[in-house]
Amino acid sequence: MTTTETATDLVLTERRDGVLTITINRPGQKNAVNRETALQLAAALDQLDEDPALSVGVLTGAGGTFSAGMDLKAFAKGETPILPGRGFGGITQAVVRKPLIAAVEGWALGGGFEMALACDVIVAAGTAKFGLTEVKRGLIAGEGGVIRLPQRLPYHIAMRVLLTGEPITAAEANRHGLISQLTVDGGALAGAQELARHITVNAPLALAKIKQVLREVQGLNDAEAFKVQTETAHSLLSTEDAHEGAVAFAEKRAPVWRGR
């Protein structure tokens, strides 16, 4: 078991047994995201994807709040937390190869909610709340909210959230399948990290390929989607990890993945 932690002011990263925990560290600002925070989040995601020793990322916020979204004071001074090619917080439009889990306590508002929607799994405390309040400011949730929320919630529920700007509770979000796991208050991070450990036992190349297929088949008909999936699945057959998986099964032992 190895644990290392580095602090870069606005974002903390902790490595533990193949899991990179990324914490937005602006509790005094409810973890609102300014440009420097976005840059540091983008760097953390690059670390996740580039380090072969890491399999899964967990994104959370310090101080009992996931994120209040954009830092409006910084925005008023001319800053933007939207990075070219990567979106809000360096996350919402980024292509992250490895699985990413959001661990949500308290509020996930605006861009904060959109960052959670950009993750593959959401683990949330029972009292967490999610909201897209942009419509109250004459804007739309343009960093994934309008696009992704109707894909994750029933259409009429998603439209209620988008059109009213009123929050949805974790309990209601869970009923409709937006949340993968509900925890007690204060337990979202531990729950997300435990889930991450269940993921890290699996082959890292296969995990990345699952995400790749899901990205590439969006909007395709079944025939086109199966063609994409078949090509991707076949590419795994010749990998060392696929061979190791079969040998480990035959030898009745845990596989040792190499990521190649």
14, 36, 79, 134: the active-site residue: 134
Block residue for tokens 């035959």: 250
**In the annotation, is 224 catalytic?**
no
Residue 5 among the catalytic residues = no
Element (H, E) at 238: none
Is-contact 170 179, C-beta < 8 A? yes
Q: How far apart are CA 44 and CA 227, in angstroms?
A: 33
Q: What's the one-letter identity of residue 72?
A: L
Distance of CA 233 to the CA centre of its chain: 24
Secondary structure (3-state) at 157: helix
Beta-bridge partners for 122: 102
Query: Of the residues 114, 143, 172, 240, which is catalytic?
Result: 114
Q: Across-strand partners of 5?
A: 14
For residues 131 and 67, give the distance between their C-alpha atoms in angstroms, rounded to a whole number: 11
CB 29 within 8 A of CB 60: no
At 178, the amino acid letter reads L
* Residues 258 and 241: beta-carbon distance below 8 Å: yes
Place of tokens 């991707």: 232
Strands of the sheet with 19-24, listed across from one edge: 3-7, 11-16, 19-24, 56-61, 100-104, 121-125, 181-183
What are the residue numbers of the active site? 114, 134
